[in-house]
Structure 1
Amino acid sequence: MSVKKIYLIRHGQTDFNVRGIVQGSGVDSSLNEAGHRQAARFFAAYRHVPFDKVYTSTLQRTHQSVRGFLELGLPHEQHAGLNEISWGTREGTRITPEEDEEYHTVLQDWRAGRTTSRLQGGESPEEVAARQRPVVDLITSRPHEETVLVCMHGRAMRVLLCQLLGYPLSQMDSFEHHNLCLYQLDYTGSLFTVRSFLDVRHLQEVV
């Protein structure tokens, strides 16, 4: 039985990440210097992998994170279904559970299983999951693409991993993420399994 190999990464660091400002799908930020170093390190560590296709969101921080692979001439598709969750009117602002009651309440709702909850003007995890499903179906339905690289965003990655591995969305915080972290998954045609969880060994020399 053929096994599809999926390398799932989060984009590299941006200045918004450093400053604690929410980006979401409406802020098309670029990588900062550290983020470009992270991307270069990941490329150096995995350029030998015979990727058949690179998938990204439509946001430039994902494109920049896989630039080395794209410059090799690998086929590339971008899909809005892989974009980060929309945080609505709060995008571009600094919000934390400690400082923002609305944000804290929404996160608590999600952990309690109320995954249709959203910030004003934003998306719920259920809505993110729904727009991801056609992209998942597309990737898994292409048997000639045996090894693929997918670059996306932190919260959206958590939603995707729940979907692929059969976890309820209320458990998405179980999937930690860091800038340019790697999850490796195998897909047998009916089942996803994790081969590598939150792998950051390729970043060990990046400050």
Structure 2
Amino acid sequence: MRPRTIFLLRHGQTDFNVQGIVQGSGVDSSLNDTGRRQAAQFFAAYGRVPFDKVYTSALRRTHESVQQFLDLGLPHEAHAGLNEISWGEREGTRITMEEDAEYRGVLADWGAGRTTSRLTGGESPEEVAARQRPVIELLKARNDEQTVLVCMHGRAMRVMLCQLLNYPLSCMEGFEHSNLCLYKLEFTGTMFTVRNFLDVTHLSAGKNAALTS
């Protein structure tokens, strides 16, 4: 069987990203002007890829990031299982390592393998992984979908990559992310392999084109 290709994309920039405010699954924000430009740059780079399906979370910032692909009439499914982790009572607030002892403690727990730890009222990585698994099984089972685009969120993407590549969730900090970054994976039917890691060349190409035009 020919390997299938998964384009795993983080959503574009929002005003909350710029302000350092956590969004989580409970904050349904839209892209800002920069995020919309990033989405357009990604479409300019990959708009001719013959995607068989577009998957997004249930949150609008992922839909808006791939709207130009949806406007082509590509089949689309939104799954709440792809939503960002819930940060509980802290959603919509600014969290920093320097100022927030609870946040520091939870991240330390996760790195030490205590991945059932969570912020007050929020989700643990184990809970996020559990709700992602049905979506992962769909991706694995749909052999007719040779090339798919999946748009989701930073922390949830880290959890997803750990699951796809058979890493413990304690390793998720190793999967860096930025707005509209791409991880391109191949799936052989038995295993996933990363072909592009934290790829943002589509964004720099857009900037260079703007500088020379």
TM-score (norm 1): 0.99
Matches within 5 A, 1:7-18: 7-18=7-18
Q: Which residue of 2 is the match for residue 3 of structure 1?
A: 3
Q: What amino acid is the match of 1:116?
A: T
Q: Is the partner of 2:202 in helix, strand or coil?
A: helix
Matched, 1:78 2:49: no
1:141 aligned partner, one-letter code = A
Answer yes or no: is 1:134 the counterpart of 2:134. Answer: yes
In the TM superposition, residue 97 of structure 1 has moved relative to its aligned partner by 1.1
* 1:152-205 CA distance string (max 9 Å, x none): 000000000000001110010000000000000000110100110000000014
Distance 2:177 2:95 in 1: 18
Match of 1:120 in 2: 120
Letter in 2 for 1:8: L
- In the other structure, the counterpart of 1:160 is 160
* Distance apart, 1:116 and its partner CA: 0.2
Partner of 1:88: 88
Question: Which whole-Å deviations, capped at 9, do the CAs of 1:105-164 have from their partners, x for residues lacking one?
Answer: 000000010000000000000000000000000111011101000000000000000000
Letter of the aligned partner of 1:144 in structure 2?
Answer: D
Which residue pairs with 1:143 in the alignment?
A: 143
Structure 1 Cα separation of the partners of residues 192 and 185 of structure 2: 6
State the alpha-carbon separation in 2 of the partners of residues 135 and 7 from structure 1: 15
Aligned residue for 1:23, secondary structure, equals coil
| Displaced runs of 4 or more, over 3 A | none
In 2: Cα distance, 1:103 partner to 1:198 partner: 25
| TM-score (normalised: structure 2) | 0.96
The residue that corresponds to 1:170 in the other structure is 170
Quote the residue 2:30 is aligned against.
30
What's the CA shift string for 1:8-61, capped at 9, x where partnerless?
Answer: 000000000000000000000000000000000000000110000000000000
Aligned length: 207
Taking the aligned partners of 2:165 and 2:144, their CA distance within structure 1 comes to 23
**Structure-1 residue corresponding to 2:65:** 65
Question: Displacement, 1:2?
Answer: 2.2
Q: Distance in 2 between matches of 1:203 and 1:101?
A: 35
- Counterpart residue type for residue 129 of structure 2: A
Indicate the residue corresponding to 1:55 in structure 2. Answer: 55
Q: Secondary structure at the match of 1:86?
A: coil
User: Partner amino acid for 1:179?
Assistant: N
SS of the residue corresponding to residue 158 of structure 1 reads: helix
Output the aligned Cα RMSD: 0.9
Task: Give the unaligned 5+ runs of structure 2.
Answer: none
Q: 2-side partners of 1:58 and 1:90: how far apart?
A: 20
